[in-house]
């Protein structure tokens, strides 16, 4: 009986102090590239409001790769790329910003869940995108 108590204390101590240190980092922490897919796309115009759209209509790829180490967002074949010009972590979110030409974009990824929201804006036109990311 005394042996069982000792084993119980050892297991409790191991679970309390050792296991948290052995747990891997969050899978959405940017240590590996993320594969992100839009689920909902809203296309908005200054006059006319917003309407649901598709990737085919808006020319958005079905998947994008987010590589924080390379500070780049790209299509899977890397035919289209955009540099990440600013990155920060705030309240469990990875916030990315960039832009090219007359367009600016922002992507927010939850480090806990991988849920993603993004916006692309231009003069009098823009997109709101909701989806999810997973580590590659």
Residue 133's closest CA among 85, 42, 117? 117
Residue 22: the pLDDT is 42
pLDDT digits (tens, 9 = 90+) for 33-60: 999 999 999 999 999 899 999 988 888 8
Threshold 0.85, pTM exceeds: no
What is the distance between the alpha carbons of residues 42 and 40, in angstroms, rounded to a whole number? 7
Q: Is residue 118 classed exposed, middle or buried when 0-12, 13-18 and 19+ CB atoms within 10 A define those classes?
A: buried
**CATH entry, 26-135, from 3.30.70, 2.40.128, 2.60.120, 3.30.160:** 2.40.128
Structure-block tokens of residue 12: 């409790």
Domain positions in the chain are: 26-135
């Amino acid at each position: 009986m005394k042996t069982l108590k000792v084993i119980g204390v050892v297991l409790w101590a191991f679970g309390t102090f050792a296991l948290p240190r052995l747990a891997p980092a969050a899978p959405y922490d940017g240590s590996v590239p993320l594969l992100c897919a839009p689920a909902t796309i809203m296309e908005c115009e200054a006059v006319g409001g917003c309407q649901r759209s598709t990737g085919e209509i808006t020319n958005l790829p079905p998947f994008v790769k987010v590589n924080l180490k390379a500070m780049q967002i790209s299509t899977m074949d890397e035919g289209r790329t955009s540099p990440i010009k600013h990155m920060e972590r705030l309240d469990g979110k990875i916030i990315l910003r960039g832009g090219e030409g007359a367009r600016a974009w922002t992507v927010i990824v939850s480090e806990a869940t991988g849920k993603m929201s993004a916006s692309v804006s231009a003069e009098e036109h823009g997109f709101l995108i909701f989806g999810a990311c997973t580590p590659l």
